[in-house]
Structure 1
């Protein structure tokens, strides 16, 4: 949804830029020695913008008959320039969508690596001071990650690294000052329960709560704020999967069938954009009290995605689709969006079933109640 929203935002921005370019063809020539009729040029710029919009909405036949040929020429030229940008933008935001998904996996490994970096720093500091007692080096969770070949391979494959100076600063300013850190460090012999509690505190109160660390991840991952909840769940599950012997950790995945889900995302993205005109017409027809332009852009995107999903993915129950997009509207759109999206999808799903455009197989796949 975010990728499609970004595409539409760029689409509108490019439309306005090209419209302005067309109008700018009739700016006064500052290098001309002749007197410029500024009022006439101003009217031509206004008419060019109007013609540009008319061609876009209704084609060349919608242009007023007495429109000057040079105005039509410039309007058509820059409208074509805008249209040529659309496939490029679509590809760009599709790639960025996939890149953002990969960033979640990268952040997951990087966040888990954080505890290893902290342990290595502490080990180095204790070694310099000749201190042999080190609960951090014996921590079962850290030991489990260190000896996990699968985790270390992922770390190497993704080329996950931390800046040493940053780790030193965070350790000194945010971790070493914590009471739980001092208590764990001073334990004569930490038990597994102590190991687990220390690591959980490290992540819950420092990594996922500290404002400076939040800002660090936001600067490298635009989706950090929304992804943080998912990442926290993934990281804590992995931590809790390691037992007192430092067993092989359970490495989490975004999906059990990632290749299939990736194909689904790509197809849904393409359909919601490629079929935009048809989808908007369907929404317009059923939203009797609303002009399509007045429907919130987020609502339109949610509805277009939902219709595409209902009509093109036979294994997903209609009820599941409707409920999922209602949840999206509650989270990302306006306060009244839930009722609007729910009502429209109910009506559309019934009509599309009657038209034979929703084809599901299996019990419960058609029920939307």
Structure 2
């Protein structure tokens, strides 16, 4: 095996594939990156059973072949390589990396012990990469972090017609975002896929600039079966699907008789961010709506902060509601600048945030805190 490649392209391909490497593993081969050189192309692959990442780059291949090397060691080497072309070769059981007089030698790992990466599913459709990354970021804040409840750590994708719906919930909040996408070929009814939120967020952000993001999926796989693939700009990630599905949110988002408040998203977000600095870990941030203002308050005793923000309230004379500060800030920050609408049932009850449109594409449900003092 022997090839020559531009330093930047080599470093980018290695960094991309290294995203799938496990943090710690007792099995050395699982920390490896598989390099495949053939016909003017270098492919770098990494996997940790739940995720598989692959990146390709043009290369001048003198001798085709494959080699498995320690991924993080190769990543460190790529970071310090001098500028210019990089020459790599497999010499027996030693892999060498050389650039501008600097030469590194690496021992290789037994390739026959490396587990096969999950096969990427067939293409199912495409979506604007930037819009998808934004949508994933808006719902990921509501996903759970408790690995003992794996279903709640995922983001659910529902594909029906030309609409994609993303949703996530940790039982205390529920975020939903709809966006357009382009299905491929004649497809049947709705398909739902539950994917790890953290991995999906990393994937979406890293592919946000690729223009069009292609989604691969096997619709015949049952809940929790198979994988989902995301590919764009010569890079691909395959994520293993989680078992189960999120609970429905239809009735939760129906807040009959709720008071309706509206405020400018950016101003309210900054006010909450400011006053929350005096709030203890479990103390709430209060929103007191009255007249044409909302008073944002946090803290107890002498350690308090408050700020008034313009707001409009309909359906009630005054309304006071309180939230976990971190949850409220996550929800507010997920909205872009513009008018924010809040439907409020009352203290200790549900509050629905939307972008103010008659048919909102982004909805975020929060449970308010019962105790306001």
TM-score of the superposed pair, with normalisation by structure 1: 0.22
Q: TM-score, normalised by structure 2?
A: 0.22
The structure whose Rg is larger is 1
